[in-house]
A and B are shown apart, each in its own frame.
Chain A
């Protein structure tokens, strides 16, 4: 696993967000194309649950990384550059997790395929 002070951490969380984005949108599109829910107008169909379930591991990983980067950033032995990277990375991971949470909210109330 990348060290919390590795510069790739600056992009890692949001890259995972982008991956989640592709997974979510693809799952929705394929789900509606191949096996739309029987009650087409109902919210919280199997597709909604699938989309939420797919998102939870992403949220967990991103929050874990945010905590890990933040804890690393308070290490007194870090160089200024390493602390800078860890702090910004912690923020980026947290934003990525927040973005996933915010973007799945409509899935709690809207039907997926209409």
Chain B
């Protein structure tokens, strides 16, 4: 594997450049490599941040003086809703995903993420979804129910315009992007580290991103489900959140905050990862308490899912349940505290260099600790009741989110700027930017605590003079504009640094991690060769490592095969065990996202036939995309694999596709569990919950379809087990048999559905059953179609008893489909019968 012919590294570099380059001109839209996609995420996020900031300035202008009429109430409602939506969904999460997409492969010594086309697809979903959401503002029909879209305020009765629809469809579209990044980052961190990088030696940033990605996988599906249900209610009249139909508006709050509170930590964790990465560099010593920090990341990742009800302390939940969530809310301060003490100890024991990024870190420590303290105050139920829906909460939220995310993100931005552009930031303007932002921020939001404590509610467009709020609001508004001047100074600083910035050395901060070993100017493939790493601080251990990597003296320094390749590793030891070949530039992600955008817009304007047509087009694009996989000639030519190489992943039985499938199914299962939660919640809590006297779905054909499905899954499992043991006779025929069984199962469900007496627009009970049936149907259909595709691929020679990778990837989908089918029968049909509910 080691190429010792360093003399030809120039030609090697050129070969790699040719293999990894984006297409020129418009072809760059087909780029899939992580550097390009990550930078696109970040730049797009910055644009959305500026738009969100302008909205904030409009609000502060309106509130600067009492009884102003610059913005009328309806417009103000739209603006505060869009400010929150843009900042949370279009700025904070995507820009951190972009940072992770950009940085993770460089840190773990890889050339790209493991599913590059999914990165690109995620970006386009984000871009199109963001444009759709923002367009509502320019069309004058923006959502106006708050960024949390509480029902019934957002339901069709009180929000009859299309604003809520823009939010629900647009945000769901954007969330596809987050889910894509979540799955991709988990698998990349676990399976594509460079040789020897163990779990215990990988950069601490990777632990943070791993936790963030897993939290996305489990945290976003409840909101995706809630958005689908509310959109179904608004457009088709299914009464999930309407009391009269047996629904309950509080179900929305539960589902929203099941997402919403972990989301705060999804935003905080990567930012804290930036802090844990930068502090050791500027203290010039290893992070104190690496194990403790890893432990606190894991604890935070879990505990943060148990706090959501502290957003709902005033809705009438029993005291004991409130105290339970109050205790959980206080608990989460402990892992945060562990990290803060680890950071302080690192600073205390190091020789701190107060460069510009460190200034932002110090600002973060000050602001975030203050925000954390008010967080503990808000965890106390009686205090929470007192300040609920006041400006105190707004102040707390901004201290946590701006302190906990924006400040570390800007620290990271300045820190990695030379890595991305090759130039150092200019000093003077950067310092001005920091101080203006820091002072402006505290002036705006510290005073807002006081405004809230003396009773000013949030989301009011104006207020009477003489209530004691006047001067506080005026100063807050002045602070807002000072902060805006700080952001402007940063933008000018960045713009000027391209022209006047000092040329950066390869590792200008004397950092310890591999991202500083990439070539200058930056290439699309990161590294000419991939090193063996046995330390948490490879560049401190071996400062010459970047040079030897660039000379091709380490692994994978071959390129004559024409493939994009990275190492595939054992998830624990980091030992290389296969070579992963990655897809090259592709138009499928853009086309698929564009088709989904058409679906989204068609649903917005309630033209359902075009929506159905676009859905089918998107499905075709996805199938074409999946066709160019495995050993398809466009993916991995057989030629060029040397006998002594590690196997290509498409020739193995445990490749990244299987990992991606399992992680995606975890997200899918979370969505299903959310539906199950909704079912039981409405059943036990909704005051007008009604159950039809006769069960509306015929049980016998459903059971028969389940038996057919079971036979299909057992058959498929048998085929795959045989393949793994080297048996693969009549493979194509067997796949066709499974397809036929799957088809029979699907047709039976469709028939059961069509002959049912469901009244989904009358009863929430029937509405939930309808969604359950559609969910099962989609999975069964998908498993059937993809198995048919496998049969065709056998015919083409892409799947055989020597090439078993793909059937193994599909097996968990079949098993999952079987699992949810029988669980649905038990929970949605049999359990109510058993309890005499029908």
Chain A interface size, under 10 / 10 to 19 / 20 to 34 / 35 or more: 35 or more
B219 nearest CB across to chain A (Å): 13
A9 nearest CB across to chain B (Å): 11
In the docked arrangement, what's the CA distance between A55 and B573, Å?
36
A15 nearest CB across to chain B (Å): 8
In the complex, which residues 292-316 of chain B have their Cβ closer than 8 Å to any Cβ of chain A? 292, 294-295, 298-299, 301-303, 305-306
Are A111 and B319 interface neighbours, CB within 8 A?
Answer: yes
In the complex, which residues 677-695 of chain B have their Cβ closer than 8 Å to any Cβ of chain A? 684-685
Are B199 and A85 interface neighbours, CB within 8 A?
Answer: yes
For A7, the chain B residues whose CB sits under 8 A away are 199, 571-572
A82 nearest CB across to chain B (Å): 9
Query: Is residue B320 within 8 Å, beta carbon to beta carbon, of the partner chain?
Result: yes
Q: Which residue of A lies closest to B683 (CB)?
A: A33
In the docked arrangement, what's the CA distance between A105 and B323, Å?
9
Query: Is residue B328 within 8 Å, beta carbon to beta carbon, of the partner chain?
Result: yes
Kindly name the residue among A88, A111, A113 whose own CB sees the greatest number of chain B CB atoms within 10 A.
A88
Instruction: Answer whether A103 and B324 are a contact pair too, CB < 8 Å, given A88-B295, A111-B319.
Output: yes
Q: Which residue of B lies closest to A80 (CB)?
A: B200
Are B327 and A102 interface neighbours, CB within 8 A?
Answer: yes
In the docked arrangement, what's the CA distance between A92 and B301, Å?
11
Are A112 and B320 interface neighbours, CB within 8 A?
Answer: yes
Using an 8 Å CB-CB cutoff, how does the interface string of A57-95 with B read, 1 for contact, 0 for none? 000000000000000000000001100110110011001
Are B319 and A29 interface neighbours, CB within 8 A?
Answer: no
For A84, the chain B residues whose CB sits under 8 A away are 198-200, 291
In the docked arrangement, what's the CA distance between A48 and B324, Å?
12
Query: Is residue B24 within 8 Å, beta carbon to beta carbon, of the partner chain?
Result: no
Query: Is residue B321 within 8 Å, beta carbon to beta carbon, of the partner chain?
Result: yes
In the docked arrangement, what's the CA distance between A91 and B298, Å?
10
Instruction: Answer whether A113 and B573 are a contact pair too, CB < 8 Å, given A25-B324, A103-B324.
Output: no
Instruction: Answer whether A92 and B331 are a contact pair too, CB < 8 Å, given A18-B306, A21-B306, A107-B320.
Output: no
A55 nearest CB across to chain B (Å): 11
Q: Which residue of B lies closest to A15 (CB)?
A: B302
In the docked arrangement, what's the CA distance between A107 and B321, Å?
9
In the docked arrangement, what's the CA distance between A29 and B284, Å?
53
Instruction: Answer whether A28 and B299 are a contact pair too, CB < 8 Å, given A81-B572, A103-B328.
Output: no
For A81, the chain B residues whose CB sits under 8 A away are 198-200, 572-573
A8 nearest CB across to chain B (Å): 10
Q: Which residue of A lies closest to B680 (CB)?
A: A26
Are B303 and A106 interface neighbours, CB within 8 A?
Answer: no
Are B324 and A30 interface neighbours, CB within 8 A?
Answer: no
Q: Which residue of B lies closest to A98 (CB)?
A: B331
Which secondary structure dominates where chain B touches chain A?
helix
Query: Is residue A114 within 8 Å, beta carbon to beta carbon, of the partner chain?
Result: yes
Query: Is residue B643 within 8 Å, beta carbon to beta carbon, of the partner chain?
Result: no
B535 nearest CB across to chain A (Å): 11
Are B198 and A80 interface neighbours, CB within 8 A?
Answer: yes
Are A114 and B305 interface neighbours, CB within 8 A?
Answer: no
Are A91 and B320 interface neighbours, CB within 8 A?
Answer: no
Are B324 and A106 interface neighbours, CB within 8 A?
Answer: yes
Are A18 and B305 interface neighbours, CB within 8 A?
Answer: yes
Are B199 and A14 interface neighbours, CB within 8 A?
Answer: no
In the docked arrangement, what's the CA distance between A99 and B329, Å?
11
Instruction: Answer whether A14 and B302 are a contact pair too, CB < 8 Å, given A80-B200, A84-B291, A103-B328.
Output: yes
In the docked arrangement, what's the CA distance between A30 and B684, Å?
7
Are B298 and A14 interface neighbours, CB within 8 A?
Answer: yes
Which one, A18, A29, A87, contacts B302 given CB within 8 A? A18
In the docked arrangement, what's the CA distance between A83 and B331, Å?
27
Q: Which residue of B lies closest to A17 (CB)?
A: B302
A14 nearest CB across to chain B (Å): 4
Are A106 and B327 interface neighbours, CB within 8 A?
Answer: yes
Which one, A21, A48, A80, A92, contacts B299 given CB within 8 A? A92
In the docked arrangement, what's the CA distance between A99 and B307, Å?
13
Query: Is residue B318 within 8 Å, beta carbon to beta carbon, of the partner chain?
Result: yes
Instruction: Answer whether A28 and B573 are a contact pair too, CB < 8 Å, given A10-B298, A84-B199.
Output: no
Query: Is residue A11 within 8 Å, beta carbon to beta carbon, of the partner chain?
Result: yes
Are A111 and B302 interface neighbours, CB within 8 A?
Answer: no
In the docked arrangement, what's the CA distance between A96 and B298, Å?
11
Query: Is residue A110 within 8 Å, beta carbon to beta carbon, of the partner chain?
Result: yes
Q: Which residue of B lies closest to A10 (CB)?
A: B298
A43 nearest CB across to chain B (Å): 9
Which one, B319, B321, B323, B685, contacts A25 given CB within 8 A? B321
Instruction: Answer whether A105 and B198 are a contact pair too, CB < 8 Å, given A14-B298, A81-B572.
Output: no
In the docked arrangement, what's the CA distance between A48 and B331, Å?
21
Instruction: Answer whether A103 and B319 are a contact pair too, CB < 8 Å, given A81-B198, A81-B200, A92-B298.
Output: no
Are A28 and B321 interface neighbours, CB within 8 A?
Answer: yes
In the docked arrangement, what's the CA distance between A102 and B299, Å?
15
Which one, B295, B303, B318, B328, contacts A32 given CB within 8 A? B318
Instruction: Answer whether A110 and B320 are a contact pair too, CB < 8 Å, given A7-B199, A18-B305, A33-B685.
Output: yes
Are A105 and B294 interface neighbours, CB within 8 A?
Answer: no
In the complex, which residues 15-53 of chain A have their Cβ closer than 8 Å to any Cβ of chain B? 15, 17-18, 21, 24-25, 28-30, 32-33, 48
Are A11 and B298 interface neighbours, CB within 8 A?
Answer: yes
Q: Which residue of A lies closest to B323 (CB)?
A: A106
In the docked arrangement, what's the CA distance between A33 and B318, Å?
12
For B571, the chain A residues whose CB sits under 8 A away are 7
In the docked arrangement, what's the CA distance between A80 and B295, Å?
16
A51 nearest CB across to chain B (Å): 8
Are B303 and A99 interface neighbours, CB within 8 A?
Answer: yes
B193 nearest CB across to chain A (Å): 12
For A110, the chain B residues whose CB sits under 8 A away are 319-320, 323
For A32, the chain B residues whose CB sits under 8 A away are 318
B112 nearest CB across to chain A (Å): 25
In the docked arrangement, what's the CA distance between A98 and B132, Å?
46
Q: Which residue of A lies closest to B673 (CB)?
A: A22
For B299, the chain A residues whose CB sits under 8 A away are 14, 92, 95
In the docked arrangement, what's the CA distance between A105 and B327, Å?
9
Are A114 and B319 interface neighbours, CB within 8 A?
Answer: yes
For A30, the chain B residues whose CB sits under 8 A away are 684
For A99, the chain B residues whose CB sits under 8 A away are 303, 328, 331
In the docked arrangement, what's the CA distance between A96 and B684, Å?
29
In the complex, which residues 477-495 of chain B have their Cβ closer than 8 Å to any Cβ of chain A? none
Instruction: Answer whether A102 and B331 are a contact pair too, CB < 8 Å, given A28-B320, A33-B684, A114-B319.
Output: yes
In the docked arrangement, what's the CA distance between A105 and B320, Å?
10
For B334, the chain A residues whose CB sits under 8 A away are 95
In the docked arrangement, what's the CA distance between A14 and B572, Å?
20
B280 nearest CB across to chain A (Å): 18
Other A-B contacts than A95-B299, A103-B324, 19 sampled, CB-CB below 8 A, are A7-B571, A7-B572, A11-B302, A14-B302, A29-B685, A32-B318, A81-B199, A81-B200, A84-B198, A84-B291, A88-B291, A88-B295, A91-B295, A92-B299, A95-B334, A99-B303, A103-B328, A106-B326, A114-B318
A sample of 28 cross-chain residue pairs with beta-carbon separation below 8 angstroms, ordered by A number, consists of A7-B572, A11-B298, A17-B302, A18-B302, A25-B321, A28-B324, A29-B684, A33-B685, A80-B200, A81-B198, A81-B200, A81-B572, A85-B199, A87-B291, A88-B298, A91-B292, A91-B295, A92-B295, A92-B298, A95-B295, A99-B331, A103-B328, A106-B323, A106-B327, A111-B318, A111-B320, A112-B320, A114-B318
Closest 4 CB pairs of A and B: A106-B323, A84-B200, A14-B302, A81-B198
